[in-house]
Structure 1
Amino acid sequence: MMPPDPNTTLERCQYGWEFQFKDIPYPTVVTDRGWVCEYAGNVPTAQTIFFVGSLLGTLFFGWLADRFGRVPALVGSNLIACIGGVATVFTNGFWDFAFCRFLVGLSLDSGFMIMYIMVLEYVGIRHRTWVANGSLAIYFGVSSMLMPWVAIAIGDWQKFALLTSLPMLITLGVPFVIPESTRWLASKDKGDKAVKIFKRIAKVNGNKVPGHVMNNFLQSLRQPKTSDESIAALFNSRELLKTMIAAIVAYMSATMVFDGLVRLSEHLGLDFFLIFTLSSATEIPALLTLAFVLDRWGRRVLACGPIVLAGILNVAAAFLAKGVLQVVLTLVARFFVNMSLSALVQWVTEILPTPVRATGSSILHVSGFFGGMFSPFVVYAGLYWTPFPLLLFGILAFIACAMSLLLPETMGLPLPQTITEGERLIQEKSLFRRNPDPTTAVYNEESTNEKIVL
């Protein structure tokens, strides 16, 4: 059949469209509202607006968590996402839909990141790793695997939006159940409130905080701060700034590989829902593995080692024909990238001092969003040279490893409470540290103010 003449006059479809529900076996917002042909641009535009919301929301709620507390930021981010998700169902056009997706995007990362930070700030050194990674493996990993099949079972995008949005209202009960971070309270000179929370937790646990421990804590609060504890200190401190730049490059590179492998898997010939499930399934073993070995092998080994293996697998898969073997290699590579990213997230959270922990973590996650924005273009470049995406992902993996080597090891160490402690941690625990003699180290468990471990 010959193609039509290029000069043929185009006319609008007079009777609407009929869609084949083959890849997605249920109505979507695209099919319901006819966002095809001259309206096809609505889809990427809405996605872009969503990610713009993610960028702004991550920075805003990170600042809010450091300025007004972890609990208000956690509740606020989830409520905005709930409002945006529910309101999406009642939209009629494009711009009201896009605005609602912008609201949901505001809370994309903050909804769980702030809770993650609170867990790390409350849990003691010995239990920090398995609590943080084990909970993510169970709740995030399992829910991600179930999500596509729940969508198929419901068979309606509006009902699916309600199902995934309304449960966020549960966060209204957070202030009555989860206490504010005592580390944050201490950093804001609110020691009296921190003491009340300590006593409350001790009562619930059937324990009593020893008097000398409480006295040490109160004495540490009375000590004058020797450095700026505002967010500006993150940029004014040479040590913290260099460390953050290295962490951002590492996280952005690893995120491009992580996101790119998901997008690339859609072009490897398997069912979309199956690929999403298998990719999500890599979360569980990756996080559970970290929970058991991160405190044995260290952050540096488990951030660098897996990402190097992922790079090797990507380079090897680049020169294979499309098929099962290439899919297997990319899924295994994603498992290793997942492990490295999770280790890196916990690692950087442990490096950042309490006054800037939420904001610094937000900046890190925003860099990941930027990395994810570039990955579709890398995948698209594969149309011109098939091996290019996987080869570039391999190179990015090696870059992430190199940057991670510049970060200080935090295994077995308490979280730095002040900017000064954060700088000392970087100086003494980096691979290329200034002070190679461990007997002269001043940042250790005994020298910090972490006297109460919950």
Structure 2
Amino acid sequence: MHASKYDENTAFLGDWGTFQKTVFFLLCSSIIPNGFTGLSIVFIGDTPAHHCHIPASVNITVEWRNVSIPVEVDGGHTRISKCSRYKLDVIKGYSDKGLIPWVDVNVSALEQESCEDGWDYDRETYVSTIVTEWDLVCSDDWKTPLTSSLFFCGVFLGSFISGQLSDRFGRKIVLFLTMAVQTIFTLIQVFSPSWVIFCSLFFIVGMGQISNYVAAFVLGMEILSLSVRIIYSTIGVCIFFSIGYMVLPLVAYFIRDWRMLLLAIALPGFLYIPLWWFIPESPRWLVSRGRIEEAEAILQDAARKNGIKAPDVIFPPPQAGEKEARAKSYNLCDLVRSSNIRAITILLCLVWTTLSIGYFALSLNTSNLHGNSYLNCFFSAAVEVPAYIMSWLMFRYLPRRLCLFSTLSLGGTVLLFVHFIPQHLSYVAILLEMLGKFGVTIAFAIIYAFTAELYPTILRNTAMGACSMASRVGSISAPYFIYLGGYYRALPYILMGSLNIFTGLLSLLLPESLGMPLPETMSHMQKVTGFKKRQITYNLDHSKGDQECVSLS
């Protein structure tokens, strides 16, 4: 069944009745836990100030205890060493002799050693994090970015599995299954006895985290009409994600222990169990699978909720060719089967990867910015609200390719300017970083909706899952972009800015979908024609089967 024919057959429902409002707000509300689960590592994995522990059992004078940690110069600023101390047996020998540091002994010339007795951590900001719990510092500091990367590896695998499961078994069952995985395994994480167990569970949480977001996104896109679909895909799900993201620093501010913070994040997931009886399966997907009776039952119930009389027969019996097409199963291989869909898939994967690097690197970096980490995280989340409103306005009135190009270029250009800001003007650098986050966030909201518009119903969730998989390559590497800043402060911004501008240019090669109905089959997909004006053909008169050409720039 052609996309516009499906829209015609269901037009009797209207755009914004009780049924659509219920679906809209319940699906959007299911996104809220993703906002604080996906970025909780900002607080549970933060590294507070620390230095080597000097045991109280070491009998040395107060003067020698005060100078037992070396002083280092870092970026023009002096600070005590995080990973070394002067050899305690040497210090004890001088202390026992009654020698005075810097008077009788040049302390800086003494031999140093690693933190053999562990570390003392600044407890002013956090009671505990996984870093302080398992000493993920100094020689083990590589484990901190790896923790985030393993979470995104789980997201990668979840995207691979859930997209195909959703196209085969339905959007609704995958939505609730992955919500359950995210909630239950986050709860189990609270009791992690070691870093290895924590990471293993975090990997599984990642499998559920983005999968339920994509399933809810696609379910709403397929149920709602075109005018509401644009609002849902930009402002709707995205702002509810931001609500969860903004709640995270507020909750973390009052709960400074990482285990209790995870518990507070996990428990709200159980509130979504009753939604199973209020959120329907996608009628569009049911029709694409040949389950006409189930689709009509959902639409009849929707008409009753809207106070509308539905036709006795909503969908005509399928033709023999349609039955065979609906019976066919599709998988990831179909995303590269023809040259056209292969080109679309490759271009979209590149854009998704770059956006994921920028979005998650900037989001995870908030705890490293100058100032209060809770406020920085809140501002990073709050800047997304106007970004999503802007994405809705752009997506409603402007060509999709122009939206992507302009926002990617804005984000990339601003990030390139960050490394020109002197270190003493840190607030200007933060402002530019937030502006870069603003551009990247707009582009991220647009690419979700744009991708859903380009792929057909029979392959839409698989395609969204595949693009989400590609973006996980970016999110897996995002923590290491931040890690590079420890060697050269401007390097992450130079890399992210350049990648954004480059992929912004690549996005101009994608087909345009402005004003087009959602495609149902592979033959309804738009063609890649580069920068040329597109000549798009689709069926306008279904009763006669006539075709007319509509030209879109």
| Residue 123 of structure 1: how far off its partner (Å) | 0.8
* Cα distance in 1 for residues equivalent to 2:122 and 2:205: 29
| Residue 389 of structure 1: how far off its partner (Å) | 2.8
Q: Return closer, same or farther for 1:444/1:310 CA change in 2, 3 Å cut-off.
A: farther
Which of the residues 382, 385, 389 maps onto 1:281? 382
Which of 222-231 and 129-138 deviates more?
A: 222-231
Counterpart in 2 of 1:189? 290
* Cα distance in 1 for residues equivalent to 2:240 and 2:540: 32
Q: Return closer, same or farther for 1:387/1:43 CA change in 2, 3 Å cut-off.
A: closer
For these two proteins, the number of residue pairs brought into alignment is: 434
Which structure 1 residue ranges, 5 or more long, are not aligned? 450-454
Counterpart in 1 of 2:39? none
| Residue 132 of structure 1: how far off its partner (Å) | 2.4
Q: Return closer, same or farther for 1:221/1:409 CA change in 2, 3 Å cut-off.
A: farther
**Cα offsets for 1:163-206 (capped at 9, x unmatched):** 21122224433331111111211121111111111111111111
* Cα distance in 2 for residues equivalent to 1:220 and 1:2: 86
Matched, 1:2 2:113: no
Over the matched positions of the two proteins, sequence identity in percent amounts to 24
Counterpart in 2 of 1:105? 206
Matched, 1:89 2:190: yes
* Cα distance in 2 for residues equivalent to 1:59 and 1:107: 11
Counterpart in 2 of 1:390? 493
Counterpart in 1 of 2:537? 442
Matched, 1:21 2:116: no
| Residue 211 of structure 1: how far off its partner (Å) | 5.4
Secondary structure of 1:415's counterpart equals coil
Counterpart in 2 of 1:257? 358
* Cα distance in 2 for residues equivalent to 1:427 and 1:42: 43
Which of the residues 317, 322, 338 maps onto 1:223? 322
> As a proportion of its length, which structure holds more strand?
2
1:15-414 aligned at under 5 Å gives the runs 18-22=120-124, 24-36=125-137, 42-210=143-311, 214-216=314-316, 218-219=317-318, 223-225=322-324, 230-231=330-331, 232-264=333-365, 266-322=367-423, 323-414=426-517
* Higher Cα Rg, which structure: 2
| Residue 3 of structure 1: how far off its partner (Å) | 5.9
Secondary structure of 1:27's counterpart equals coil
Which of 256-265 and 103-112 deviates more?
A: 256-265
Contact 2:152 2:475 in 1 (8 A): no
* Cα distance in 2 for residues equivalent to 1:221 and 1:414: 24
Q: Return closer, same or farther for 1:384/1:53 CA change in 2, 3 Å cut-off.
A: closer
Contact 2:128 2:257 in 1 (8 A): yes
* Cα distance in 1 for residues equivalent to 2:183 and 2:513: 36
Counterpart in 2 of 1:452? none
| Residue 265 of structure 1: how far off its partner (Å) | 5.1
**Cα offsets for 1:44-76 (capped at 9, x unmatched):** 444343222221112111121111111111111
Secondary structure of 1:141's counterpart equals helix
Matched residue type, 1:230: Y
* Cα distance in 2 for residues equivalent to 1:344 and 1:37: 39
Secondary structure of 2:527's counterpart equals helix
Contact 2:481 2:492 in 1 (8 A): yes
Counterpart in 2 of 1:432? 532
Matched residue type, 1:319: F
| Residue 339 of structure 1: how far off its partner (Å) | 0.3
* Cα distance in 1 for residues equivalent to 2:356 and 2:285: 29
Contact 2:246 2:381 in 1 (8 A): yes
Q: Return closer, same or farther for 1:382/1:29 CA change in 2, 3 Å cut-off.
A: closer
Secondary structure of 1:443's counterpart equals strand
| Residue 252 of structure 1: how far off its partner (Å) | 1.1
Contact 1:310 1:336 in 2 (8 A): yes
Contact 2:343 2:528 in 1 (8 A): no
**Cα offsets for 1:126-154 (capped at 9, x unmatched):** 11111222223442112211211211212
**Cα offsets for 1:375-415 (capped at 9, x unmatched):** 34444444555443322222211122122112122222221
After TM superposition, the score normalised by the length of structure 1 is 0.87
Which of 34-43 and 355-364 deviates more?
A: 34-43
Which of 36-45 and 128-137 deviates more?
A: 36-45
> As a proportion of its length, which structure holds more helix?
1
* Cα distance in 1 for residues equivalent to 2:481 and 2:150: 21
| Residue 226 of structure 1: how far off its partner (Å) | 5.9
* Cα distance in 2 for residues equivalent to 1:371 and 1:128: 27
* Cα distance in 1 for residues equivalent to 2:495 and 2:437: 15
* Cα distance in 1 for residues equivalent to 2:485 and 2:134: 31
Counterpart in 1 of 2:66? none
Secondary structure of 1:442's counterpart equals strand
Which structure 2 residue ranges, 5 or more long, are not aligned? 1-106, 546-553
**Cα offsets for 1:192-241 (capped at 9, x unmatched):** 111111111111111123457x245x447973456965123222122111
* Cα distance in 2 for residues equivalent to 1:19 and 1:402: 46
Matched, 1:419 2:514: no
